[in-house]
Chain A
Amino acid sequence: MSELLIRTRPIRTLKQTVRILVMVATTFLGLLLITFLIGRIVPIDPVLAVVGDKASPQVYEKARIAMGLHLPLWKQFLIYIGNVVTGDFGTSVLTANPVIDDILRVFPATFELAGTATVIGILVGIPLGIFSAVKQGSFLDHVTRVIGLFGHSLPIFWLGLMALMLFYVRLDLLPGPGRVDFFYEGIVTPVTGILTIDSIVAGEWEIFRNAVYHLILPASLLGYYSSAYLLRMTRSFMIEQLRQEYILTARVKGVKEWKVIWGHALGNCAIPLITVIALSFGTLLEGSVLTETVFAWPGLGLYLTNSLLNADMNAVLGSTIVVGAIFLGINLFSDFLYKVMDPRAR
């Protein structure tokens, strides 16, 4: 019996891998098709974005043919798939750069913001969630839950504007929109694209300080949203674990309470929590669209918004696919972590 198991395992793994690959490919194709069709169905002439309103018909026609828009739709789609597979998302009309270069340029800004926000979310949300679960029903539990509820229901752009009004305009505690004071922009040469790291690399301490300062408000806001979500999830995971018999056993055995909570119960929540954190990070990456607009934060969200408003279809499709791919990646990654950390899931 055991021999049989050992022999079939590689085959099973192979089968699983193929299944996952097929799933990823289908999801991706679906994503491509939908984004492509949206781009073609909207009643906006993409040639206009290239040549502007005042172009002569000859200039217009030349651009239309150069963009391949005279071909039948299915042919355009095939060409598009072919290009995307080879990593060519076309050229952005708005920036005159290849879309992939643009995305690589703006993505670190979003990553920096979403990363910081996730750290804040974890540091605030998980301890509060645990606290809430342990002191279930207490006054503080209710307060925490109300704060969490707010974080889940208030629109982020509104909260962003209010926070700017308060901390920037009224109290003068924190800086306004932008990744750094405007006159500091363009001084540090991007290495990683993450400004707080690049400024250290360049030894520009003033800019580093300024960048951190600028990061506080938007990251805290996004972090608040992420912590509200993590809080609710942690609370329910913990409540479920604390009801289990092994917790009772541990307590009976005289294990210290903090060890029961932080070791036993939280240890068993760790796996679902990782998934939740990964998903919340993914949501922040795409969810920062509005925050980036409010804070004039030059990341993927702002890039996507600008491209949409200017009918820059290549850029819109490119960013959508990248966001989709990141989501797929995060899902696969958390599945993988599951398997590594939980022997039962193997």
Chain B
Amino acid sequence: MKKLFLFVFALSLFVIQTTHASTPKDTLVMAFNIDEIISLDPAEIFEFASAECAANAYDRLINYNVDNVSEIYPGIAESWDISDDGLTYTFKIRKGVTFASGNKLSADDVVFSLRRVVLLDKSSAFILTQFGFTPENVKKTITKVDDYTVKIIVDQAYAPTFFLYCLTSTAGSVVDKKEVMAHEKDGDLGYGWLKTGYAGSGPYTLRTWKASEIIILDANKNYWGDAPKLKRIIIRHIVGSAGQRMLLEKGDIDMARNLTADDLKSLEKNEDIKIQKRAKGRVYYLGLNQKNKYLKIPEVRQALKYLIDYKGMEQTILSGKSTLHQAFLPKGFLGALEEIPFSLDIEKAKALLKKAGLENGFTLTMDTRSAEPVTSMALSIQSTFAKAGIKLEIITGDGKQTLTKYRARRHDIYIGDWGPDYMDPHTNADTFARNPDNSDDAKFKSLAWRNAWDIPEMTKKADAAVLERNTAKRARMYLDLQREHQRISPFVIMFQDIEVVAERANVKNFILGPSFDSNFYQYTTK
């Protein structure tokens, strides 16, 4: 008995004497909400955190400069050219690139990767299939010319940047054909394995992914470009801003990715912490369902746009995390409209409602997912609507629950956000300003469709803009489109998202790009 006591005593001493250790010099530890990740296969990745990981673990044919998006620079492709008719793109593949597995990268891998996206046809596949690639025709449209040349034929003479930007997205990642096919099962092109596996050539390799728990990336020893500075990146899933802030202040993590405006404010005074910001493409908006008898009246839509306290929300609820923006193309995109025509103007709204014969008020519901900042935004909107006699009932629900209702077009108003899928303006024009078929069983279901907004004319304009090969003219077309959209659409676009990262003062060169798949770790040091 006495011996046991001594043992326990010794053990506890051994344990208690541990001093508080900070994170190792060669490892970056960040807290990040990663429970949305459902796959690590670049042919399927479509979530923020996984897209960021893929950007650091896979190479793409081409990339854009994060500081000047219009500049596209070589990745795996050394050079490229476009035929005069605008249909054929030829890429020269860089020699001497190896995958993390040690396999050599050649045209075969590029062709395989792009075809694979089309054949698997997962959620993100449309980024490529919108150029006319189908499982039946990929053998003809995406082909190898020789070991280091790839030829791609698109179905229409699109604006070249449209196709090139799409190739810079995650779906354009190049995977290791040999490695993937070694794990193929029942003709699944290695999908079952790559969902949790890794077969890339980027600066970091994906070593571990435990869903809703952790992602570990290790430096790729075979990387062909500048060697990554840090040996390991650890992304730990921590729910909630308070927890992330606590860990950051204690130095148990180097970086917190999901802090609320409140927590950020209180960190501003802390000298050990610095805050990095970058405007992202995501926009916050209200979707007004045109199946609702009030919302389909143009004056009502117009009035609601004057019943939002944009400035107030920007300064309080969204302080430092969003910036005022009222057009469907976010700042930083070609042709983005930066005019702010709407502000809180209750008298004007009342006059508009009177014109519609609704001066005595009416009731609407708004589906709101129970997550900040949208819940706070909803409360602000409720109070300003009330000033013009509109009673707004807020229906809160879990994110997937409100989304289910929205997708079925059973909402009155939906408050949500939308992030662009690639850096070309068509990404948002496609969803906010196109609705080729407004029937309930339409094949193409854009946000315009979800709000039952029937717009054959505007759809034609958006289609014309994506085929305009003169960049300046194309930008003008988008500006006009947005002005019209701003005036008449059932979308109340309010804010553009700013990504904010709080990091320990010793962390340097964590690169925040304009899109969630352009945040880079390669040059980060601490």
Indicate which residue in B21, B213, B403 contacts A48 across the interface (CB closer than 8 Å).
B403
Whether A209 and B400, one on each chain, are in contact in the complex, defined by CB atoms closer than 8 angstroms, is no
Whether A213 and B38, one on each chain, are in contact in the complex, defined by CB atoms closer than 8 angstroms, is no
Chain A residues contacting B253 (CB-CB under 8 Å) are 182
Whether A306 and B35, one on each chain, are in contact in the complex, defined by CB atoms closer than 8 angstroms, is yes
Indicate which residue in B14, B211, B252, B407 contacts A92 across the interface (CB closer than 8 Å).
B211
Interface size class of A (residues with CB under 8 A): 35 or more
Chain A residues contacting B421 (CB-CB under 8 Å) are 54
Complex Cα gap A185–B208 (Å):
10
Whether A298 and B401, one on each chain, are in contact in the complex, defined by CB atoms closer than 8 angstroms, is no
Chain B residues contacting A309 (CB-CB under 8 Å) are 35, 398
Which residue of chain A lies nearest to B214 when distances are taken between CB atoms in the complex? Answer: A185
Residue B506, interface by CB 8 Å: no
Given known A-B contacts A94-B35, A182-B234, A298-B213, A213 and B15 have beta carbons under 8 A apart? yes
A161-200 interface (Cβ within 8 A of B): 164, 168-169, 172, 175-178, 181-183, 185-186
Min CB distance B222 to A, Å, is 21
Residue A274, interface by CB 8 Å: no
Complex Cα gap A133–B232 (Å):
56
Which residue of chain A lies nearest to B253 when distances are taken between CB atoms in the complex? Answer: A182
Chain B residues contacting A168 (CB-CB under 8 Å) are 246, 250
Whether A186 and B208, one on each chain, are in contact in the complex, defined by CB atoms closer than 8 angstroms, is yes
Map CB proximity to A onto B438-449 as digits: 1 under 8 Å, 0 otherwise: 000011110000
Complex Cα gap A186–B238 (Å):
16
Indicate which residue in A54, A172, A298, A303 contacts B46 across the interface (CB closer than 8 Å).
A54
Whether B212 and A44, one on each chain, are in contact in the complex, defined by CB atoms closer than 8 angstroms, is no
Whether A53 and B403, one on each chain, are in contact in the complex, defined by CB atoms closer than 8 angstroms, is yes
Whether B210 and A181, one on each chain, are in contact in the complex, defined by CB atoms closer than 8 angstroms, is no
Whether A176 and B246, one on each chain, are in contact in the complex, defined by CB atoms closer than 8 angstroms, is yes
Residue B275, interface by CB 8 Å: no
Of B23-31, B144-152, B345-353, the stretch lying at the interface with chain A is: B23-31
Whether A183 and B27, one on each chain, are in contact in the complex, defined by CB atoms closer than 8 angstroms, is yes
Chain A residues contacting B212 (CB-CB under 8 Å) are 94-95, 302-303, 306, 310
Indicate which residue in B27, B232, B405 contacts A43 across the interface (CB closer than 8 Å).
B405
Residue B247, interface by CB 8 Å: yes
Complex Cα gap A213–B401 (Å):
40
Which residue of chain A lies nearest to B215 when distances are taken between CB atoms in the complex? Answer: A186
Chain A residues contacting B21 (CB-CB under 8 Å) are 181
B122-137 interface (Cβ within 8 A of A): 122-126
Complex Cα gap A262–B401 (Å):
57
Residue B39, interface by CB 8 Å: yes
Min CB distance B254 to A, Å, is 10
Whether A186 and B35, one on each chain, are in contact in the complex, defined by CB atoms closer than 8 angstroms, is no
Min CB distance A75 to B, Å, is 22
**Most chain B CB atoms below 10 A, which of A97, A177, A209, A212:** A177
Whether B246 and A54, one on each chain, are in contact in the complex, defined by CB atoms closer than 8 angstroms, is no
Chain B residues contacting A94 (CB-CB under 8 Å) are 35, 37-38, 211-212
Whether B250 and A169, one on each chain, are in contact in the complex, defined by CB atoms closer than 8 angstroms, is yes
Whether B38 and A96, one on each chain, are in contact in the complex, defined by CB atoms closer than 8 angstroms, is yes
Whether A96 and B398, one on each chain, are in contact in the complex, defined by CB atoms closer than 8 angstroms, is no
B210-269 interface (Cβ within 8 A of A): 210-214, 216, 232, 234, 236-239, 243, 246-247, 249-250, 252-253
Chain A residues contacting B470 (CB-CB under 8 Å) are none
Whether B27 and A296, one on each chain, are in contact in the complex, defined by CB atoms closer than 8 angstroms, is no
Chain B residues contacting A306 (CB-CB under 8 Å) are 35, 211-212
Whether B123 and A51, one on each chain, are in contact in the complex, defined by CB atoms closer than 8 angstroms, is yes
Indicate which residue in A54, A97, A293 contacts B196 across the interface (CB closer than 8 Å).
A97
Complex Cα gap A287–B290 (Å):
46
Residue A49, interface by CB 8 Å: yes
Residue B2, interface by CB 8 Å: no
Given known A-B contacts A96-B196, A176-B250, A293-B239, A42 and B401 have beta carbons under 8 A apart? yes
Min CB distance A89 to B, Å, is 15
Whether B234 and A185, one on each chain, are in contact in the complex, defined by CB atoms closer than 8 angstroms, is yes
Which residue of chain B lies nearest to A315 when distances are taken between CB atoms in the complex? Answer: B211
Residue B47, interface by CB 8 Å: yes
Min CB distance B63 to A, Å, is 22
Given known A-B contacts A185-B216, A296-B243, A52 and B38 have beta carbons under 8 A apart? yes
Whether B247 and A177, one on each chain, are in contact in the complex, defined by CB atoms closer than 8 angstroms, is yes
Min CB distance B5 to A, Å, is 13
Min CB distance B387 to A, Å, is 32
Indicate which residue in B23, B124, B443 contacts A183 across the interface (CB closer than 8 Å).
B23
A54-97 interface (Cβ within 8 A of B): 54-59, 62, 92-97
Complex Cα gap A95–B211 (Å):
5
Complex Cα gap A53–B402 (Å):
11
Chain A residues contacting B246 (CB-CB under 8 Å) are 164, 168-169, 176
Complex Cα gap A183–B247 (Å):
13
Min CB distance B225 to A, Å, is 26
Complex Cα gap A250–B491 (Å):
85
Chain B residues contacting A52 (CB-CB under 8 Å) are 38, 46-47, 123
Chain B residues contacting A298 (CB-CB under 8 Å) are 210, 213-214
Whether A209 and B18, one on each chain, are in contact in the complex, defined by CB atoms closer than 8 angstroms, is yes
Given known A-B contacts A96-B196, A96-B211, A176 and B252 have beta carbons under 8 A apart? yes
Residue A311, interface by CB 8 Å: yes
Complex Cα gap A178–B29 (Å):
13
Residue A45, interface by CB 8 Å: yes
Complex Cα gap A210–B211 (Å):
23
Whether A209 and B15, one on each chain, are in contact in the complex, defined by CB atoms closer than 8 angstroms, is yes
Residue B20, interface by CB 8 Å: yes
Min CB distance B414 to A, Å, is 12
Min CB distance A286 to B, Å, is 19
Whether A296 and B443, one on each chain, are in contact in the complex, defined by CB atoms closer than 8 angstroms, is no
Residue A50, interface by CB 8 Å: yes
Complex Cα gap A168–B239 (Å):
18
Residue B156, interface by CB 8 Å: no
Complex Cα gap A169–B239 (Å):
18
Residue B404, interface by CB 8 Å: yes
Chain B residues contacting A169 (CB-CB under 8 Å) are 246, 249-250
B1-43 interface (Cβ within 8 A of A): 14-15, 18, 20-21, 23-24, 27, 29, 35-39
Whether B236 and A178, one on each chain, are in contact in the complex, defined by CB atoms closer than 8 angstroms, is yes
Which residue of chain A lies nearest to B431 when distances are taken between CB atoms in the complex? Answer: A54
Going nearest first, the 8 A-B pairs with the smallest beta carbon separation are A95-B211, A55-B123, A45-B404, A306-B212, A96-B195, A311-B400, A298-B213, A186-B208
A-B contact pairs, 8 of them (CB 8 A): A43-B405, A44-B400, A54-B124, A57-B445, A96-B39, A175-B20, A209-B15, A306-B212
Extra contacts besides A52-B46, A96-B39 (6): CB < 8 Å: A44-B404, A56-B445, A93-B38, A177-B243, A182-B253, A183-B29
Query: Which B residues lie at the A interface, using CB under 8 A?
Result: 14-15, 18, 20-21, 23-24, 27, 29, 35-39, 46-47, 121-126, 195-196, 207-208, 210-214, 216, 232, 234, 236-239, 243, 246-247, 249-250, 252-253, 397-398, 400-401, 403-405, 407, 421, 442-445
